[in-house]
Chain A
Amino acid sequence: MPETSGIRNTNTLLPAIYQRAVIDAIMKLDPRFMIRNPVMFVVEAGSALTTLLWFQALTGNGEAPAGFIGAISAWLWFTVLFANFAEALAEGRGKAQAESLRKMRQDTMAKKLYLGYEIVKGREPEPSDYLEASSATLHKTDLFYVKAGDTIPVDGEVVEGIASVNESAITGESAPVIRESGGDRSAVTGGTAIISDWLIIQVSANAGEGFLDHMISLVEGAKRQKTPNEIALNILLIGLTAVFLVVCATLWAFSVYSVQAAGSGIPVTITVLVALLVCLAPTTIGGLLSAIGIAGMDRLIRRNVITTSGRAIEAAGDVDVLLLDKTGTITLGNRQAVDLIPVDGTDIMLLVETAQLASLADETPEGRSIVVLAKEKYGLRGRSVGATESGTGMQFIPFSSQTRMSGVDCGDVNIRKGAADVMFKYIRENGNPVSEALRKEVETISLAGGTPLVVTKNGKALGVVHLKDIVKGGIKDRFAQLRKMGIKTVMITGDNRLTAATIAAEAGVDDFLAEATPESKLNLIREYQTGGRMVAMTGDGTNDAPALAQADVAVAMNTGTQPAREAANMIDLDSNPTKLIEIVEIGKQLLMTRGALTTFSIANDLAKYFVIIPAAFITTYPALSTLNILGLHNAILSAVIFNALIIVALIPLALRGVTYRPMTAEVALRNNIAIYGVGGLIAPFIGIKIIDIVLVLMGVM
């Protein structure tokens, strides 16, 4: 996927984003904002508390040396700031994209047609038909007129006219696209520009509610709502934080008692308890959680997919059935000739030559593939049309939907090729019999899922061209990977069952829906959903809309109609049907990143206990020094510093997501437990020891 131009081009803005993120990180310290993230709010409260204790210590009445409290306090503030920075950084990328989008949304003048304007086919409105008005005055169902050079002010549906439109601002695709009334190319987006001709457009969304506005708010993350899974994880994290809050609060009481019981030492200080609380609270995941969510949406946007909600990305990770259109997704758009079979004793080369002649003027991909086959397999060089034989009065018969055949008349030689049933009729009309051999070949090819074209010369059959759907290279492996991930692929095609089955087998899909109609698609989706499965599909036509609305993850092509785009919860600006697979992967990656960092965060805590508890209670119970297995000198400060730095260290991971490869659930779990679970147990021991050594070298004791 090329990642250039359009909304994705934010790389040049990087230093600005960092600058802004730093400022935002500080702005986000506002407790009214922090309370939205309870884990980090607790850290902020702890930071404030230790700061007060530091002031107290500065006056000489502190519970511990001012230097110690000050250092702890500072690093606690850093912990909060680092978490805010991560979030601000993730948002910053979106904001930069939003800026560039917003530029296009500036209030433009619209040629609003008067109420009661009568649309006449092919008639361009006169200046007397419309009023130049601000785009803000346009409301749903109003009509307006645009011509070459205008910017389309708001989203709408073309009701009259045909024009080429530059949509690069949204898609990043520089080639203009055709927009016309009726059919699947009638939707236009506000902010795009007319290059030629004119259109009459009916407003489909009020100003400020259009596609562009929606995109802006999405990429900015302003309206970002927590997704169900994020909420569930947040509940767990709040629960853990509450546990540690109680652990640390009660530890003070236990410490007071222990001092009495042992008759030595002093109760643990509030500074140490706050430090312990912050180290134990799941700050790593708590600080990075929203950044992960924003970054997930960002990754989708980088792949030119716009989603209407974060919920849809999560749902994408859960998808277990993919409905894929055959044409364009599984097979190359067109069928190709793969074989030429002579019948009734015809010489093979005669058939080849005849088939080639019949296809020379046939500009369809099928026709061209016959010429290519003749050249490559049979060494018959394609003659350019009208070269050697043009003089002899060669007359080409193009394909028409009435005759359903094409060919060439060359003097008294009439060459034709076409679909079997039409050709059989044509042969009989010419007074020739349809031989058993011909029927058999036609049937064989049909049975194999191919399309037979019968070639005749002067009304007599010479042989059959075998046309075949060509499955895209590598698609079979892709489906195998999906199967491993537990995702079932279903091919949707208008072909008959036989053809569909053959292609399905060749492509390696799990199932297929042949002779598909909008109703049968909808029913299939409902059937899967009743069975508890999550279904994803792509669509572009208006008749896909019901199925898109029903599917859990519905990706509409940007080239699709307005109803299709409205029914979907994602829009692929590249209009690439294979994108669905990438979307599923992004969804999974998002959840995996959350899970991995949660595991890492919790696993970290064990080491922190070993570091902090001996240090906190050594005056009461010297025997606990046995637990100080690392031999630390600045145990508590080192742990707090590690806790803050690990957030920074993991920001890239949070933004990028954990590496995703298609694999079974079992393997994915094993790998992630090994890396983030076991790694999470070990990493803090090493990290804290290193920080302690550095502190000692710096002379902090």
Chain B
Amino acid sequence: MKTGSVLSIIRNQLKPAVVIFFLLTLITGIFYPLFITGIAQVVFPVQANGNLIVHNGNVVGSALIGQPFTSPGYFWGRPSATSPVPYNAGLSSGSNLGPSNPALASAVKARVEALHAADPANTFPIPVDLVTTSGSGLDPDISVAAAYYQVHRITRERNLNGEDVKALVTSHIEPRQFGIFGEPRVNVLKLNLALDDMSTTHIVPSSMVKADPVPSDGSGLRIPDWIVLILFIGVFIVTVVPLGRFMVKVLKGEPHLFSQVTGPLEHQLHTWSQVKADDEMDWKTFAIAMMVFSLVGIVFLFVLQMAQPVLPLNPAGAGSPSWDLALNTAVSFVSNTNWQAYAGETGVSYLTQMVGLCVQNFTSAATGLAVLVGLAYGLSRRSASTIGNFWVLLIRSVMILLPLSIIIALILVSQGTVQTLGGPVTVSLLDPVKDASGTLVTTQTIPLGPAASQIAIKQLGVNGGGFFNTNSAHPFENPTPFANFIEIIAILLIPAALCYSFGRLVGAGRKGVSILIAMTIIFLPLLGIAIWAELGSNPSFAGMGIDQTTTVLQPGGNMEGKEVRFGIMPSALFSVVTTAASCGAVNSMHDSFTPLGGFVQLLMMQFGEVIYGGIGSGLYGMIVFLIIAMFIAGLMVGRTPEYLGKKIEPQEMAIATIIILIPIFLILISTAVAVLVDPGKTAILNPGPHGFSEILYAFTSASQNNGSAFAGLSANSMFYNLTTAVCMFVGRFGIAILTLALAGSLVVKKIVPAGEGTLSDHRPLFIIWLVFVVVIIGVLSFLPALALGPLVEQLMLGGGP
């Protein structure tokens, strides 16, 4: 690769950038979603089109999308926070009310009173899921306990035999999927349809009656929860090495499992873009290539959004967003943040989802991976000057993501994630409902789209940008407890295995595995805290006659913003995984988590998104921490510190230190500005310290390229669109460029052979030391802010299981 002035390098890299961008757009934005759609429509036609329920020849709704029920004669579903009517499928939404918000307590109190008013004689404690809103606002299910609780009212209202109604409920219990995943639950729409049938025919089909519906498996963290947790860890123990090996092969251009398919594709891409596999780049050229490619992506995505009203594949008729929102979204997806200030159902067309957002899900993740490989080359090459070719590594990284995405997408479709180019479906409501203005609403518009293809890469690429507004809480995005498990696994699959790949690239797999262990040492205790906190009851509901305990019949715990099909543990697990891994997908509303649960989410991001982290970016962030840990440890053993035989000298320390400083500065300074100015403060939903947490969370998420949110914050404003865009851009590319500079600084060094005096970087003691350094830097930087946010909120609220 010729070197020269920055301008001449930009000129040289512009052509491959544009050619490769459009070729990858073609592959990942058109061929890939169409391929998945084709298979889905043939193999899983019901699931791919929304699991529509055909009753007496009519489409009456979707088995996955709840409907509002307000008449006392129907089983009521979970309260919904969508507007203007509950269960508005056209715009999914959670309440985002914080646990300490008095508005939450009064809303819950009103629901309790409504239930009591409809059935004054029923004095049993009310299951908590029946008085708290779901994450999506479309939760189709209620807990078994919530269904049984309503039997008394239904019996009275419909004049039925109580035992018959009870038997009907029992026959509609959906047990845990495969016996372990999720909660036993009852689909409210299906139950009410059957109830109507029973009321008209007065026939109770005996086959519907099941004796003992749910095996008794205790309360709190139950046996199936433990099994799922063990399975979760087990999957990584099994996949890290083979997947890690596979990735090394692809990245090095060696033959692998899919090379019959990806090989020719890769070759063609190289030919068309005139990139040669052995054309090595120094760090500056590498960084410029990355920036040119990313800027091409930002410009394209911006233009695509602004032009979407006049482009095809826009069945919901999405208009142009404001320029600041379009810019925010463009930066967000190119920077692998996937912060979403728009709503997927109404804000973007299918074309934008596919050709714009889906493509960036692939390429932004691949960019991170390419940078990591550049760093690995910087560490492993001896007295060299080049760190690989960005284009080659980018294309190969996409070739890793593509086959895995196809597998995950098809599993998700099989579970009910929609995958169609067809437009929304409108159905009549079984129990019409009045909206806020008193108008009677009789229909529900169910959105569809090519979701599965995008959700697969959203999880796998640790992107997190949902197809629908409520992300993986939406039943069409995350339809079943098993789908939920797969989505959780998909987030960590590559970041975990990449540790092993990195180890192989720099010499020994165990060096990577030790980093993985360090990450896990931080991950597990925080996961434990989050699960423990969410299992706990909300003290502000005390005295309302609500049952918040976790039992065989109900998930209990902090159910505000969570879906019944997942329950507590899988929701807490998802939230910790998604914040640990810089993903940002959510299956429950983080804003409504307990303060301690929110604290864990914040801390995971504030540790620098290095506990697994994003594809490539998490690991290269961790390597920077490792270099700092090694520097101090090296001093303590009396040698000029070295990592992998490369001496750590002033230049490396300067780069590493700045990399650590960037997100800390971004988060603290932008939060400070936002809490002082009106445009910052007025966006807050929840009062008190929780409101502070919302702003802190927003800038933490943006600066660390996570993308999840305390979504109560009204982030679609000029102020937040532009400030978070700056945080996302600098947080991503500032660090990526410096990481490449670090690689460039390391690659020219000699490699000091390891000996007795060398501090080995994979021994238990050093792993613990690394953990200490990561934790202490994170805690020292953010403890004051956390103390004024979630910590003080927790102390004020109290509570626990």
Contact = CB atoms under 8 A, between A and B. Distances in A.
Nearest to A321: B755
B757 A485 contact: yes
Contacts of A249: 672
Interface in B266-324: none
Interface stretch (A120-128, A213-221, A412-420, A662-670): A662-670
B783 A591 contact: no
Given A257-B676, A486-B755, A668-B638, A595 B633 contact: yes
Contact of A257 (B649, B661, B692, B784): B692
Contact of A669 (B637, B650, B689): B637
Interface residues of A, number: 74
A664 B756 CA distance: 6
B633 A247 contact: no
A314 B635 CA distance: 11
A247 B788 contact: no
A261 interface: yes
Interface string B748-777: 001111011111100101100100100010
A664 B691 CA distance: 52
Nearest to A268: B784
B403 to A, nearest CB: 40
B796 interface: yes
B657 interface: yes
For A320, A533, A617, A660, the residue with the greatest tally of chain B CB atoms inside 10 Å of its CB is: A320
Contact of B671 (A228, A254, A670): A254
B540 interface: no
B755 A255 contact: no
B632 interface: yes
A320 B766 contact: no
B238 interface: no
A672 to B, nearest CB: 4
Nearest to B673: A253
B210 interface: no
A314 B640 contact: yes
A611 to B, nearest CB: 12
A668 B785 CA distance: 36
Given A262-B688, A669-B765, A677-B772, A254 B796 contact: no
A239 B668 contact: no
Nearest to B681: A257
Interface string A650-693: 00000000001000111011101100110000000000000000
B110 interface: no
Contacts of A591: 634-635, 638-640
A235 B650 contact: yes
A262 B687 CA distance: 9
Nearest to A677: B772
For B636, B650, B687, B779, the residue with the greatest tally of chain A CB atoms inside 10 Å of its CB is: B636
Contacts of A609: 779-780, 783-784
Given A236-B628, A488-B755, A624-B792, A229 B675 contact: no
Contacts of B689: 258, 261-262, 621
Contacts of A22: none
B784 A613 contact: yes
A485 B756 CA distance: 6
B795 interface: yes
Interface stretch (A358-366, A388-396, A596-604): A596-604
Contact of A239 (B636, B648, B660, B681): B660
A677 B645 CA distance: 25
A602 B628 CA distance: 13
A649 to B, nearest CB: 20
A242 interface: yes
A531 B796 contact: no
Contacts of A247: 668, 780-781, 784
Interface string B624-661: 00001001111111111000010011101110011011
A228 B649 contact: yes
Interface in B660-675: 660-661, 664-665, 668-669, 671-673, 675
A591 to B, nearest CB: 5
A665 B758 contact: yes
Contact of B757 (A232, A251, A665): A665
A447 B781 CA distance: 68
For B638, B649, B664, the residue with the greatest tally of chain A CB atoms inside 10 Å of its CB is: B638
Contacts of A605: 776, 780
Contact of B756 (A483, A617, A626, A660): A483
Contact of A236 (B638, B653, B785): B653
A581 interface: no
Interface in B676-692: 676, 681, 687-689, 691-692
Contacts of B640: 228-229, 314, 317-318, 591
B787 interface: yes
For B640, B645, B766, the residue with the greatest tally of chain A CB atoms inside 10 Å of its CB is: B640
Contact of B635 (A250, A487, A594): A594
A249 to B, nearest CB: 7
A257 B675 contact: yes
Contacts of A672: 636-637
A235 B657 contact: yes
Contacts of B657: 235-236, 238-239
Interface in A262-295: 262, 280
B757 A253 contact: no
B756 A484 contact: yes
A448 B292 CA distance: 71
7 contacts: A243-B664, A532-B752, A589-B638, A621-B788, A665-B639, A666-B760, A672-B636
Interface of B: 628, 631-640, 645, 648-650, 652-654, 657-658, 660-661, 664-665, 668-669, 671-673, 675-676, 681, 687-689, 691-692, 750-753, 755-760, 763, 765-766, 769, 772, 776, 779-781, 783-785, 787-788, 791-792, 795-796
9 smallest CB-CB distances across A and B, nearest first, come from A486-B757, A595-B635, A588-B638, A239-B657, A595-B636, A253-B672, A257-B675, A486-B756, A250-B672
